[in-house]
Amino acid sequence: MVPLSWYIIVGSVLFLIGVAGVLFRRNIIVVLMSIELMLNSVNINLVAFSQYMEDLRGQIFAIFTITVAACEVAVALGILIALVKSRGVHNTDEIDTMKG
């Protein structure tokens, strides 16, 4: 049997890769993929804990997370299409009309 800590380590490594991807990659599609990676690392955590504690709550939570992640990507891609149509940009550092 694979011990719990292995899952948690995989989860945190994936999470950190996702964070690094959001912070350092310029292409918006890649940034969105990195966000997906973060959300899926959370799913690994939830399911691993759920299995370990023999409690179904975590698995239910993971299903909800997957659903919400799908909605979020749908909205994000819709906005990205609007952005590409109006400006023809694909990179995060090109959306700089306003300096936040």
Partner 1 sequence: MMPGIKDILMILPEIVVAVAACVLLMVEFLCRKGERTIIGVFAILTASVAAAISLYLMTTDYMGGVAFSGMFILDGYSTMFKLIFYLATILSIVISFYYTREEGIKGGEYYTLMLFSLCGMMVMASGRDLLTIYIGLELMSLPVYVLTGFLDRDKRSVEGAMKYVILGGFSSGILLYGISIIYGVTGSTELTAIARAFGEAGGLTPVVGLAIVGLICGFGFKVAAVPFHAWTPDVYEGAPTPVTAFMSVGPKAAAFAIFLRVFTEGLLPVYEHWQVLVAVVAVATMFYGNIVAIVQTNIKRMLAYSSIGHAGYALLGLLPATNDGVASVIYYMFVYLFMNMGAFAVVVFMRRASQSGELIEDYRGLAKNHRALSLAMLVFMFSLAGIPPTAGFVGKFYIFMALVDKGMVELALIAVVASAVAAYFYIRVVLLMYMKEPVRTHLTAESFGVGLVIAVGIIGAIVLGVYPGYLIDLIQRVSALV
Instruction: Note the residues at the interface with partner 1 (CB under 8 A).
Output: 8, 11, 15, 18-19, 22, 28, 31-32, 35, 38-39, 41-42, 45-46, 49, 53, 55, 57-58, 60-61, 64-65, 68, 71-72, 75-76, 78-80, 82-83, 86-87, 92, 95, 97-98, 100
Q: How far apart are CA 64 and CA 86, in angstroms?
A: 33
6 vs 78 by CB, closer to partner 1? 78
Q: How far apart are CA 4 and CA 52, in angstroms?
A: 7
Nearest partner of 93 among 21, 25, 17, judged by Cα: 25
